[in-house]
Structure 1
Amino acid sequence: MPKRIILLIIVIFLSGTLLLWRGESEANQSQLYTIGVLSANDMRLAKLEGLREGLKKLGYIENINVEFAIVNAQGDREKLRETAQDLIDRQPSLIIAMGGVEADILKTLTVTQPIPVIFAGVALPLERGLIIDYQFPGGNLTGIDNLQSELAGKRLEYLSLLLPSVKRVLVIYDPQVPSGHLSITRVEKEAQKLGVEISLVPALRLEEIEETLDKVENRFDGIILLPSYNWETNPSIETLGLNRKIPIVGLYEPEMARGFLLSYGPSYYNQGLQTATMVAKVLRGQDPGKIPIETAYSLDFVINLDVAEKLNLDINPQALGLADRVIPKGGELHR
């Protein structure tokens, strides 16, 4: 066959492939996807920044080929179910659950309306019944395991490293949180390893913590809050540590602004950023039940030196070198 004919065939093939690719690309650009977002409170909406940034990098730009339908229960747990149903009734392309309580409700409500659901950070999705397997979740849910239950022991370790004088720690857990048992196990093992005495107290209200602190004869050297929706929505927790002169260990970076000494866990921004890749997979036609669960790929250790000064704490300077971020005395967050 003459070379000229062969070249002509190659050109025709490549041109056809290019036109097909452009056609698919233009079709994706012309289709407007609606992404539902269900949040239980204002704090969890901080994940939206990373989500939007991640989607933009993947070619999904707000008001061009994607739009968001965002609903927020404003910390009202009773309202959350009604809010979730209203969002489902809008028939979005998919729904993002901003946390565990949102994912639990969507799991129930989408049984008869199987809209794809992606959870942007949940503790123990298998144990709480959201999925049947990490590699093949099944059903209509997939998402990010934020490892919050597994990190409880590490938070105690960081508290002890930051304050070597710590000997007695109050550990507050929410009896309504399904993943609480693993957090307790992890913190108990770490306490035994460090030689730290811990007191486990179930609490749903700040008053219950206050009562515990009033009853004890010997002062606690620190308080660790295990994962709980209740503390995210309780503004009174902000003053507990400062008023009692006890350092509090939290889960997320935003809690540093609430008067906590340190936090260790995945940032809201990174959870949103990581979720964006899973959203893109679903929008491109993949079955969420066949998209493997991902674990949070970034964990941040944040120290608040402003709180340390207000509590008159003697901080171990070597621990500062391990921090991913530090809030200086009287200053803003250093990255």
Structure 2
Amino acid sequence: MIRRLRLCVLLALASWFAVSSFFGSFAAEPSQKIARVGFVGTESRSTSLRGVPQFFARLRELGWVEGQNIVVEARWADGDYNRLPELMTDVVARNIDVLVTSTTPAAIAAKKVTSTVPIVVVAMGDPVGMGLVNSLSRPGGNLTGLSLQWADLSGKWVELLQEAIPRLSTVAVISNPASPIITKVAKDLQAIAAQRGVKLVFQDVREPAAFPDAFRRARQHAQAALVLADPLVLAARDQITALAAANRLPALYVSHEFMVSGGLMTYAVDSRIMFRRAAEYVDKILRGARPGDLPIEQPTQLSLAVNLKTAKALGITIPESILLRADEVIR
């Protein structure tokens, strides 16, 4: 009886120590910090790029789940440059751990607002030339991300238009001159077009209301259009592709987003690839990496897409040489 009582006491004590040890070690673990991510979209929520949902999907795959271990402070500029500084200031004031945005104008606005909060930028153009970073391999400072070297693509855009449109002599370049990178790309385009015997006529747009007149003039003076993307242009992509169709003007776009809206042709990097990669940058920063040590990447997965439905409506035939090289053909 005494032996059985001693055994019961020993078992009770062992159970108590085990439970105490479990809860003691649990209580001793520091509670996991909730990460705070600021996200400033250059378009509106309803017109955001296809890559934006992929950014959040990739974050979840990496273990960052809203409502559990991450809070996202999202703001939208609706394609208006003037709103970017205010939106950046607002999210930075929320004590965020990292700020995410896209395009060169947004990168410039973010850099002006904070020199301490890590910044991850998607699809910025020539960050070294724009003075945003010291170098691509070691950016330094608080900004990193993914860069599009449009200067390297300019020749390909002109070449594709020449191949698609027989006897092409004049191309209308529709763009927003308020974008710093657009001004630089325009110079590169002029030099390349001159070498290929093509004249460029620039149609400037600084607000959505200017697009109808820009396309009307483009149709009068050119056989095709090249539409350069920036926040204003991307936010108006449905309007732009509709105007190209109404004016029966073949156009090449430098963003795949326009293909969803019925665009004729594009040669660019898919935003879904870039935003997923940006999520991986954010993951590294939230786990302790310094943005200045993360090299800025230049995506190499460029793809060519052609919409044959749009081509038929415009009354043009896309050459077999282009279709054979196309990564996506919409029929």
TM-score (norm 2): 0.81
Structure 2 counterpart of 1:145: 147
Structure 2 counterpart of 1:206: 211
CA-CA distance at 1:81 after TM superposition: 2.2
Structure 2 counterpart of 1:71: 75
Q: Which aligned pairs between 1:17-166 and structure 2 lie closer than 5 A?
A: 30-42=32-44, 43-111=47-115, 114-166=116-168
Q: Does 1:229 align with 2:198?
A: no
1:144 aligns to what SS in structure 2?
A: strand
| Alpha-carbon separation, structure 2, partners of 1:210 and 1:265 | 22
| Alpha-carbon separation, structure 2, partners of 1:127 and 1:63 | 39
Code of the residue aligned with 1:161 in structure 2: it is E
Code of the residue aligned with 2:146 in structure 1: it is I
Structure 1: runs of 5 or more not aligned: 1-22, 329-335
**1:100-142 CA distance string (max 9 Å, x none):** 222111111113xx11111022111112221122122121111
CA-CA distance at 1:263 after TM superposition: 1.1
| Alpha-carbon separation, structure 2, partners of 1:284 and 1:297 | 27
Structure 1 counterpart of 2:14: none
- Does the 8 A contact of 1:154 with 1:190 survive in 2? no
| Alpha-carbon separation, structure 2, partners of 1:123 and 1:99 | 7
Change (3 A) 1:161 1:144: same
**1:199-248 CA distance string (max 9 Å, x none):** 3444433255246347x5xx522101223333223353232211111111
Change (3 A) 1:286 1:170: same
| Alpha-carbon separation, structure 1, partners of 2:163 and 2:152 | 19
Choose the corresponding residue for 2:312, options 309, 313, 319. 309
Change (3 A) 1:28 1:272: farther
TM-score (norm 1): 0.80
Farther-moved stretch of structure 1 (316-325 vs 143-152): 143-152
Q: Choose 1 or 2 for highest CA Rg.
A: 2
Cα RMSD of the aligned pairs, angstroms, is 2.5
Structure 2 counterpart of 1:288: 291
**1:143-199 CA distance string (max 9 Å, x none):** 110223432221121222233443321223432222234423443344345433333
The 4+ residue runs of structure 1 with deviation greater than 4 A are none
2:132 aligns to what SS in structure 1?
A: coil
| Alpha-carbon separation, structure 1, partners of 2:103 and 2:62 | 23
1:64 aligns to what SS in structure 2?
A: coil
Change (3 A) 1:251 1:210: closer
Farther-moved stretch of structure 1 (56-65 vs 260-269): 56-65
| Alpha-carbon separation, structure 1, partners of 2:303 and 2:265 | 10
Farther-moved stretch of structure 1 (247-256 vs 46-55): 46-55
1:35 aligns to what SS in structure 2?
A: strand
| Alpha-carbon separation, structure 2, partners of 1:80 and 1:69 | 14
| Alpha-carbon separation, structure 2, partners of 1:81 and 1:201 | 27
| Alpha-carbon separation, structure 2, partners of 1:28 and 1:201 | 58
- Percent identity of equivalent pairs: 24
- Does the 8 A contact of 1:33 with 1:66 survive in 2? yes
| Alpha-carbon separation, structure 1, partners of 2:149 and 2:261 | 22
Choose the corresponding residue for 1:266, options 265, 269, 293. 269
Structure 1 counterpart of 2:198: 196
2:96 aligns to what SS in structure 1?
A: coil
| Alpha-carbon separation, structure 2, partners of 1:44 and 1:127 | 27
Code of the residue aligned with 1:209 in structure 2: it is A
Structure 2: runs of 5 or more not aligned: 1-24
| Alpha-carbon separation, structure 2, partners of 1:76 and 1:194 | 35
| Alpha-carbon separation, structure 1, partners of 2:200 and 2:103 | 28
CA-CA distance at 1:324 after TM superposition: 1.2
User: How many residues matched?
Assistant: 298
Change (3 A) 1:48 1:257: closer
